[in-house]
Every structure is written in C-alpha cells, then in structure tokens.
Amino acid sequence: MTATINDIRSFWDDRARQFGSKARATLNESPLRRLEIRTMIGQIAACRPRRVLDVGCGNGFSTKQFAARFPEIEFFGVDYSEEMIRHAGDDGPDNCRFMVADVLKPQTLPKGTFDLIITQRCLQNIPDYSLQKQAIENLRKLLSSPGKLLLMECSKNGVRQLNKVRLALGRETIGNIQPWHNRFFLDGRMVRCYGAKIIHFSSTYMFLVKVVHPRLAKIALVLPPVGRFGYDKLYVID
Ligand SMILES: C[S@@+](CC[C@H](N)C(=O)[O-])C[C@H]1O[C@@H](n2cnc3c(N)ncnc32)[C@H](O)[C@@H]1O
C-alpha cells in the first residue's frame, strides 16, 4: 500500500493526541534525540543566524530547546499537523513562535526570509521523491542570501551500511527501520542534485547501539562520530 499525505498527517495528529507535548510524540529513542539536539545546536552556533525556520517542528519539543539556548535568535516552528501545533502551545521561550503550515503549500509558510532553515525528520514523511524535491525548492526560496538549509533526515544508505555490518557478524538484518509513513533520502541524490555536504553525526551511536548492543547508548553519546553507519544524517545545503 502506498501511503498518502492525508494518511501520514492523520498519523501525526494521532501521535500528538496520544503523547501531547512529550518528546516521544515524534521520536521514541531519547538518546538519539539528545544527539540530534546537540548536533543541531552546534550547527546553529556555527551559523550565527538571526531568523530560523524549523520545518515539521512537531510539538516543538526540540524547537523550544534551540530557542532557550539562543535567546538572541528568532525561531519559527511550523507543522502541517494542527494537533502537533496545538501541543506546541505557548509555554516556550519568548523568541519562539509556532504556526500551522505545509511545506508543500508555500502560501501557508511564514512571510519573509530566513538565514537558516532546519528540519528534524520531517521531509522523509513526504511519500514521494518528486514532492520531497518540491519541498526543498520551496524552502530554498525562503532562504536569505547567504542562507543555509540543515536537513536532518534518515538515509537509505545508512540503513544499508548498518545491515552490511550485521550480516558480516552473522546477525540478521534490521528490516523495519523505515516505517510505512517514511521515504528515506538517498545520499548520492542529495549530493548530485543539491551539492549537499553530509554530516554522519549518528554513525558511532548507531554502530554501537544497533550493531553491538542497545545498552551502549550512554557510552555512544560521549564518543565522536566515526564512519558512515548511522541512518540519521545531516544534509547541509548552502
Ligand atoms: C518525525 S516528526 C519530527 C518532529 C520534530 N521535528 C521533532 O524532531 O520532534 C515529523 C513531523 O513532520 C511533520 N510534517 C510532515 N510532513 C509535513 C509537511 N508537508 N509540512 C509540514 N510538516 C510536516 C509531521 O506532522 C511531524 O510532526
């Protein structure tokens, strides 16, 4: 069965109804979330933007942490799930705002330009590559000059790498990493089409947790990323 955009949005509405403003409404693996947030904070600090758009911000769990860490930067979180945005609420720091908007409907996106646009596992929820491409084009039009896109999204290549190592160790492959509502990115395509630079920030974490043992998560978080084993990656487009 091919997932439709409406099915996927309903799925996220249901997650928001079920888990409200909790982190697990949008990710059930808290060490990985910590790694994502730490990585994104490092990137934001390096860019020193004035206005940041967080696309597919869900219930704003991460956006609020970015905003609290950088009080001098203005953050806008958008999501097409009204339920998610309802749970983002208005209890965040003063420098962050939330609104309902669909990245595939440019007229719904906030006005003005942004020097940094970020995603955290959003575009992989668009079920077809031609629409993902349209979403990236819509976001590029909102970038100021200079401006940067930081797309933190999951990669098919990363899943293949992990499974290769598992097979080499005589373990079965992990078959269900890409859920029904996701279409993971292809690294080669991102480099070819957008000149994306890829940061394999979850490589060490995934190698230790998904190949060696899940109990190694805490240790994995204090080690630097080595190799290309992780499927959660950061695609940087200038
Ligand atoms: C995996 S969740 C991640 C949420 C948030 N970035 C986080 O890390 O907690 C993906 C989010 O993307 C949103 N989303 C998916 N497609 C979207 C679209 N076309 N426009 C806006 N938001 C979208 C979903 O509603 C969902 O809240």
Find the CATH number of the domain harbouring 65. 3.40.50.150
Between strands 51-55 and 74-79, the pairing is: parallel
Whether residue 81 has its Cβ less than 6 Å from ligand 1: yes
d(CA 39, CA 201): 7
Q: Which atom of ligand 1 is nearest to the CA of 36?
A: 8
Per-residue confidence (pLDDT) for residue 174, from 0 to 100: 85
**Residues with pLDDT less than 70, the chain:** 1
Ligand 1 center–CA 58 separation, angstroms: 5
Per-residue confidence (pLDDT) for residue 224, from 0 to 100: 95
Per-residue confidence (pLDDT) for residue 163, from 0 to 100: 93
d(CA 39, CA 34): 9
d(CA 111, CA 213): 46
Per-residue confidence (pLDDT) for residue 102, from 0 to 100: 98
d(CA 74, CA 83): 23
State which residues form the domain around 53. 5-237
Per-residue confidence (pLDDT) for residue 179, from 0 to 100: 86
Per-residue confidence (pLDDT) for residue 176, from 0 to 100: 75
Based on the structure, what is the number of domains in the chain?
1
Query: What phi and psi, each to the nearest 5 degrees, are found at residue 225?
Result: -70, 130
Mutating to test ligand 1, I would choose from 17, 125, 178, 184 the residue with most ligand atoms within 8 A of its C-beta, which is: 125
Whether residue 151 has its Cβ less than 6 Å from ligand 1: no
The pTM score is: 0.96
